[in-house]
Amino acid sequence: MSNQEESDENWIAAMDDLCSQLNVDPGATKKSKDSFAEIKRNFTLEGDSLHWMACALYVACRTSITPTVESGKAVKGNCVSLTRLLRLCNISLIQFFTKIKNWMDMTLMPSDFKDKISRLEHKFAVSTILFRKFQPLFQEIFMGLTNEPVKIKSSKKHKLQPCSTNALFNFTWCLYISVKGEFHNSADDLVDMYHLLLSCLDFMYANAFMADRRDILNPNFRGLPSDWSEDDYEQPNHPPCIISVLCELKDGLAVQARTMKDYSWNRVIKSFFEKGILNGDSEDHLGVLDIGNFDVNVKSLNNLYETYVLSVGEFDERIFLGDHAQEHIGTIKKVSDTEISQVIANFGPSNKGCPDTPLTGRRYLGRRAEELTPVSEANNSLARLASFLRQSKPQPSACLMKLFAECGVSDETITKKVIEPCNTWMEQFAESLLENQCSSETIAYRCNMVTCLYYKVFEHILREEHRKKPQVSLQVLLSQETYQLTVYACCTEVVLHSYGVHSLRFPRVLQIYNLSAFHFYKIIELVVKAVVEKLSRDVIKHLNAVEEQVLESLVWTADSPLWDQLDNTSVPPSAKVTIPESPLRRGIHSPMSTVDRYPPLMADQAKKQLFKDNVKPGQSLLVQTNTKNETSPPTSSNGEITPKTPNTTPKKNNNSLMLFFRKFYSLAVVRMNDLCMRLRLTDDELKRKIWTCLEYSIMHQTQLMMDRHLDQILMCAVYVICKVSNSPTNQVERTFTDIMRCYRARPLADNHVYRSVLINNTKEGSPERGDLINFYNRVYVQCMQNFALRFTGRNRDESSLSPLPAARGDATYSPGGQRVSGAPQLSVKTLTASPPPPPPHKHHLTYRFSRSPAKDLHAINTLVSCEVGGLKRVSETEEVVKRARCGSAGVARKLQGLVSDRQAL
């Protein structure tokens, strides 16, 4: 017998043994074995084979259809326990999530299954966070919790005893996860599920308090009545609510928690009593801990939860209660409330409790005041939002109505063009929340919050537009319903993110309102400017990440309106859309006004020509313009405008499209610089070649972006330019392995980007996908090979290189570092092994962390303290304007306008 045959027999026997122990049906068994055999034949499976078998079995079980006793009904999955499967295969949950992602890429699983795994991983992270909150909160209320395992009574004749604190701890967690299981679509929403946990602790406290269980209640708990320990204390008829106390102790929002208790927790608990799942006083929801009830309730809840876990194919959240929890979970350290371990990797790498900051948009982010946990971060976002909207109503404010009156907008127009559409959008949002199994009270509260935020943001945007162009009526802008809808959708995204509603995470909001990503991106920056000082750092960071997600891939889907515009307009080079850097421009990424982003339409043209861009540069879009198609002037391969010929008609710019490519190129150059830095590609000429190649692919091979991702095209450009530029004296060649390894280290990078790339999108059947190397060999090379060869040997043409756009506001890429103060000029940059000598300036001071003496830092502090006190921020711009007034009057007006824009930010 050959070694190969012996190996095949071994894994087949191991798979048969696993299926036998798990009682897997023959269909799923065959499916898992066939899948494992195919993957083993085509790929090298590193590590323990049992781990890969676990992946094959899980996929086979979760994609099986199991008939039920009821006629004509079936359930997806065959009720195999994921937790038991992992234990039999000796693989932790952390390892499983890593392996199953690789398995899905190798087997080209459909996106809906990948979404299920992503949600399962997120739910696991949320559960881990919640358990860490649960244990210290429980110990605030109850005392006597020990490390000893709960003893199981083996004899029915054993005398019943009151439950111990340890038994109560396990029961409370089991009750919580059983109730949480009733919220299928929102069980991974961090804020709601945390407040549900507080409701559970309040429920258990009420039962222990009314049962007078002084043996387990913590006498130092702040929620106990002040006279509880007195001899003449009299038991009240109803237990005190401790929701507010728990919120004060551990990052809760009392109003949200009480809403969750009254309208969600109590509803499920009532049904548990009605169904006999819980025994006790069904009217007051008490008596759960009484002798004779407690043991029955423990058994009933465990049976209920086991049935739920098997039916949905999720991990068993009772895993946190076991003696070997850290082994089964895969954590290095013991699970506790004081440390954030790799379990919460779904919330960001490097063991951080919050997502990484995107590379762009950092200019809007203030310094983080303190390191927050995921729960405190989420509740901080929600608290800031609630504070911002405290005095607001879901209707236009008196100030907004006054602005409308000043601009000649009639009450009828306000009702028809503002209030009625807003009510329609609110109903659409309510329907999505209803599908998410939210209570009617929760739906009303969140819809109210979105609408209040919408009116505040909309008023801010209108005021800015009116300030910049007071001579222009706002009636045309109000006639554009889609523009207002994008504002409402962006406000919805703010509320959903603040609540941590993972099941409705972006881009779900686009589906709710039937919006395209190309229309949606235009409003993000305006909303950020409207709320940047009012909302939390986390919300602003999320909106920045959303904008990146839109620009990098969502606007490039085959059904995007962007392609309709590109049918009539060529893609401009980066040099044509980039704003030159200057002191006046610093901090102003896109100086266009609101109406420069959304062109107006006549009423009868609105449906057919929505978001067509027919505006002259610098012209307000509130003024009706020519509706002819406009395209950019023809360009050469190196991005220069070609001379006009008798057969060439000059065409006007498309302002909205210019804004899009300005933002897109800005994102692309930041991504390129980041990747080059990680790959140690520092030569400016090489980076210009990479940029020229990337820009050429966007301009002249634009179809490469359809249904693909910016990073896919970028990594291919880096690879091909490094390959053709490599020489014995300049060894810059990098493998795809190197490139993908460095890409993974980038903030918010997604491994799926290079593991699943569109190869061929056929009309019949599913689109063909493969890894990045497959895409490069079969698609990218065919389009870009001839162009890339221009940089090799005798054909090398350095003069045609495109200028490298400046990466604004990023210390990593700027030679002078990131400017953090303008007066005095204070910059921060990455520490390098051999820093360049400082420029010859008598006031130049440098401090290198961990290397320079303390006196250098003291000197900088002294300089900053002295100069900041007596120096005005606007003095620099005022001086520039004064100098400009000596020259052209037109230049002075433009500079003054820029100064006003800057001060308005």
In which band, very low, low, confident or very high, does the pLDDT at 655 lie, cut at 50, 70 and 90? confident
Q: What's the pLDDT tens digit per position in 249-304?
A: 887 888 889 989 998 999 999 999 999 999 999 999 999 999 999 999 999 999 99
Strand runs (DSSP E) across 386-498, as ranges?
Answer: none
Q: What's the pLDDT tens digit per position in 289-334?
A: 999 999 999 999 999 999 888 888 788 899 888 776 777 676 544 4
Give the DSSP H or E segment for 666: helix 655-678
pLDDT at residue 874, rounded to an integer: 37
Q: What's the pLDDT tens digit per position in 190-199?
A: 889 999 999 9
Any idea which residue has 């509880």 for tokens?
A: 228
- What's the mean pLDDT when you consider all of the chain? 78
How much is the pTM?
A: 0.75
C-alpha 672/C-alpha 814 separation (Å) is: 14
C-alpha 410/C-alpha 415 separation (Å) is: 9
**What is the full DSSP assignment across 331-363?**
-SS---SS---GGGGGG-STT-SSPPPPSS-GG
Distances (CA, A) of 657 to 134, 572, 615, 691, 695: 51, 9, 11, 20, 16
Q: What are phi and psi of 828, to 5 degrees?
A: -125, 135
Q: What's the pLDDT tens digit per position in 86-116?
A: 999 999 888 899 899 889 888 888 878 888 8
C-alpha 454/C-alpha 446 separation (Å) is: 12
Q: Would you give the end-to-end CA distance of the chain in angstroms? A: 77
In which band, very low, low, confident or very high, does the pLDDT at 828 lie, cut at 50, 70 and 90? low
Q: What are phi and psi of 417, to 5 degrees?
A: -100, -15
Nearest to 22 by CA among 72, 58, 70: 58
C-alpha 152/C-alpha 173 separation (Å) is: 17
Residue 646: is its pLDDT beyond 70? no
Task: Enter the tokens of residue 238.
Answer: 């109803």
Distances (CA, A) of 220 to 143, 172, 224, 225: 10, 20, 8, 11
